Amino acid sequence: MSELKQHDVAFTVNGKAETLSVSPRTSLADALRDTLGLTGTHIGCEHGVCGACTVLLDGKPVRSCLLFAVQAEGAAITTIEGIGDAQSPHPLQRAFNECHGLHCGFCTPGMIVTLSAFLKEHPQPTSADVREAISGNLCMCTGYQNIVRSALRAAELIEGAKP
Amino acid sequence: MKPAPFQYVAAKSVDDAIALLSKYGADAKLIAGGQSLVPMMNFRLARPEWLIDINRIDGLAGITQQNGMLRIGSLTRYSELEASEAVQRGVPLLRQMLPHIAHEAIRNRGTIGGSICHADPAAEMPVAMLALDATFELRGPSGARRVAADDFFLGQMTTGIEADEVLVAIKIPETKNDERHGFSEFARRRGDFALASAAVVLRFNGGMISDHVRIAVGGLSERAERARKAEALLAGKTLTPTLIEEAAHTASGEVQAGQDLHATEAYRRSLIATQVKQALAVAADRTSSTGAKK
């Protein structure tokens, strides 16, 4: 094989424009973590099964381990860091705290990113709806009960915050 | 768990993709949604030297209705199919099957054409394509050709597409008023690959089943296939619970079923009898057959 070409790729991450030079085989997850230092996106299985690396691509949840960074040209990416922070947490982050929605915390960013998109589409979900929504996110601590409670609580918080 | 190094090029058009495939030959792979290819590359089961990205090609995604057919661009993502009224109305069996494919984050990227060309024996899409009499539009250096789903799926991850061809679109006849259908699958966990799946389409003539009967199964062996003896058994008869039992038993006996670490052959045959039975039961229930229920 001839020498591998680096590619320039431009996209926005949490609203900030970024231009990176990447090797084709660099996953979006690795680019976010290693190049941009956004280590909130976790890498678990690297084959699309665990959901820990979920980010929003143009508003929709996708696996950042199954997308090469070079493919994200022009996209708007949202990571857990863009969902909320300690100073101004997202209602999901408040609810996960309040309802003990995490044990070790490894799956949490993927859970919250997935649920943030879900709650926009389903503001008044049932417990069954939430289970379906997080069916592609694995929690190896098996703390699902409190994750479901947290999601339902977040829906209440979002509803309560409406004028 | 990282892919082997490769070179990347984004194709600008279908012709560009064909030219790139012709140039790089067996060293190249097309990437659409990448939800099957990238895991295989990460496991190093696939090591293409060139990855040709077709995601930037204009007009390769989208759903249009023409002459009683739905024409679905090969790059159309599962989530777009799920949200499409034309699919819901025109091909409700496809709509009914879609939530069984993996999870939302996968369906936001995975494409109909990618699943068809990947031809995973446990995937749902080939099963639906066989039941729906789909036709595939392929384009290569010497022009376009059409291949029926029946002639396309040859074996495990093996199809009738040539190395320098691109699947451009999928054509599916819209469901007729006198048609009923059903889909059922068994997987160990939500979103997992099916250990057994079945899709059925029955066209009725008055109260009787006409000779248009499709029973397609997947997850059992190297490829999705039709249970033609069971289809023949149903033709010309009235759909009763006894007949459903008989057809399920016949289908279970006639199709190929393999053994692996997930299931024995006997277990798979038992599972497929149940799935065919359930799919036929769904078809027998008019309400869900019209796609009113998920």
Do B276 and B196 meet the contact criterion of CB atoms below 8 Å apart?
A: no
Read off the pLDDT of residues B221-253 as tens digits, 9 standing for 90 and up. Answer: 999 999 999 999 999 999 999 999 999 999 999
- DSSP 3-state assignment of A73? coil
Read off the pLDDT of residues A61-88 as tens digits, 9 standing for 90 and up. Answer: 999 999 999 999 999 999 999 999 999 9
pLDDT for B190:
82
Cα(B176)–Cα(B178) distance, rounded to whole angstroms? 5
CA distance A68 to chain B (A): 9
Read off the pLDDT of residues A117-138 as tens digits, 9 standing for 90 and up. Answer: 999 999 999 999 999 999 999 9
Whether B269 has a pLDDT exceeding 80, the answer reads yes
Q: Could you give phi then psi for residue B247, rounded to 5 degrees?
A: -65, -40
* Angle between the N-to-C axes of helices A91-98 and A108-121, in degrees from 0 to 180, rounded to the nearest 10: 120
Look at B109 and A63 and tell me if their CB atoms are within 8 Å.
yes
Model confidence at A162, in pLDDT bands (50, 70, 90)? confident
Which structural domain range is residue B47 located in?
7-53
pLDDT (average), residues A39-62: 97
Whether B291 has a pLDDT exceeding 50, the answer reads no
A68 contacts on B by Cβ (under 8 Å) = 8, 34, 38, 51
- Could you tell me if B168 and B184 lie in one domain? no
Whether A1 has a pLDDT exceeding 60, the answer reads no
pLDDT for B293:
37
- Could you tell me if B278 and B236 lie in one domain? yes
A7 contacts on B by Cβ (under 8 Å) = 8
Which two tokens mark A149?
Answer: 């409670």
Q: What ipTM does the predicted assembly reach?
A: 0.94
Q: What CATH number corresponds to the domain at position B107?
A: 3.30.465.10
Which two tokens mark A95?
Answer: 């609810």
Cα(B20)–Cα(B16) distance, rounded to whole angstroms? 6
Q: What CATH number corresponds to the domain at position B17?
A: 3.30.43.10
Q: What CATH number corresponds to the domain at position B266?
A: 3.30.390.50
Residues contacting B264, CB < 8 A, separation 6+: none
DSSP A13: E
Residue B90: alpha-carbon gap to chain centroid: 17
Residue A117: alpha-carbon gap to chain centroid: 9
Look at A66 and B6 and tell me if their CB atoms are within 8 Å.
no
pLDDT for B25:
86
- Could you tell me if B205 and B266 lie in one domain? yes
Q: Does A14 touch chain B (CB under 8 A)?
A: no
Nearest to A106 by CA among A50, A65, A49, A150: A50
For residue B273, CA distances in Å to A98, B220, B221 come to 47, 12, 15
Nearest residue of A to residue B108, measured between CA atoms: A62
pLDDT for B292:
40
Nearest to A142 by CA among A92, A99, A106, A98: A106
| Fold assignment, A7-83 | Ubiquitin-like (UB roll) (3.10.20)
pLDDT for A2:
52
Is residue B26 one of the residues assigned to a domain? yes
pLDDT for B286:
64
Read off the pLDDT of residues B10-51 as tens digits, 9 standing for 90 and up. Answer: 999 999 999 999 999 889 999 999 999 999 999 999 999 999
Do A13 and A82 meet the contact criterion of CB atoms below 8 Å apart?
A: yes
Model confidence at B294, in pLDDT bands (50, 70, 90)? very low
pLDDT (average), residues A48-53: 96
Boundary-marking domain end, from B137, B172, B207:
B172
Cα(B244)–Cα(B251) distance, rounded to whole angstroms? 10
Look at B5 and A63 and tell me if their CB atoms are within 8 Å.
no
| Domain-wise residue ranges, chain A | 7-83, 91-160
Read off the pLDDT of residues B204-221 as tens digits, 9 standing for 90 and up. Answer: 998 899 999 999 999 999
Test the A interface: residue of B109, B115, B193, B294 with most A CBs within 10 Å: B109
Nearest to B133 by CA among B221, B227, B194, B201: B201
Boundary-marking domain end, from B156, B172, B188:
B172
Which two tokens mark A156?
Answer: 């209440």
Q: Could you give phi then psi for residue B45, rounded to 5 degrees?
A: -80, -25
Is residue B271 one of the residues assigned to a domain? yes
- DSSP 3-state assignment of A156? helix
Model confidence at B1, in pLDDT bands (50, 70, 90)? confident
Domain count, chain B: 3
What is the largest distance, in Å, between two alpha-carbon atoms of chain B? 60
Is residue B2 one of the residues assigned to a domain? no
Is residue B78 one of the residues assigned to a domain? yes
Boundary-marking domain end, from B172, B188, B210:
B172
Three-state SS across chain B?
CCCCCCEEEECCCHHHHHHHHHHHHHHEEEECCCCCHHHHHHCCCCCCCEEEECCCCCCCCCEEEECCEEEEECCCEHHHHHHCHHHHHHCHHHHHHHHHCCCHHHHCCCEHHHHHHHCCCCCCHHHHHHHCCCEEEEEECCEEEEEEHHHHEEECCEECCCCCCEEEEEEEECCCCCEEEEEEEECCCCCCCCCEEEEEEEEEECCEEEEEEEEEEECCCCCCEECHHHHHHHCCCCCCHHHHHHHHHHHHHHCCCCCCCCCCHHHHHHHHHHHHHHHHHHHHCHHHHCCCCC
Read off the pLDDT of residues B79-111 as tens digits, 9 standing for 90 and up. Answer: 999 999 999 999 999 999 999 999 999 999 999
Nearest to B82 by CA among B95, B101, B100, B97: B95
Q: How many CB atoms lie within 10 A of CB A48?
A: 25
Nearest to B186 by CA among B261, B278, B287, B94: B278
DSSP A157: H
Architecture of domain A91-160: Orthogonal Bundle (1.10)
pLDDT (average), residues A10-33: 98
Mean of pLDDT over chain B: 95
- Could you tell me if B94 and B164 lie in one domain? yes
Which two tokens mark A130?
Answer: 């939430």
Look at B105 and A132 and tell me if their CB atoms are within 8 Å.
no
DSSP A27: B
Test the A interface: residue of B8, B24, B35, B190 with most A CBs within 10 Å: B8
Cα(A147)–Cα(A101) distance, rounded to whole angstroms? 4
Model confidence at A33, in pLDDT bands (50, 70, 90)? very high
Which two tokens mark B243?
Answer: 């007949």
- Could you tell me if B207 and B264 lie in one domain? yes
Whether B160 has a pLDDT exceeding 70, the answer reads yes
- Could you tell me if B86 and B136 lie in one domain? yes
Whether B288 has a pLDDT exceeding 50, the answer reads no
A23 contacts on B by Cβ (under 8 Å) = 5
Whether A12 has a pLDDT exceeding 50, the answer reads yes
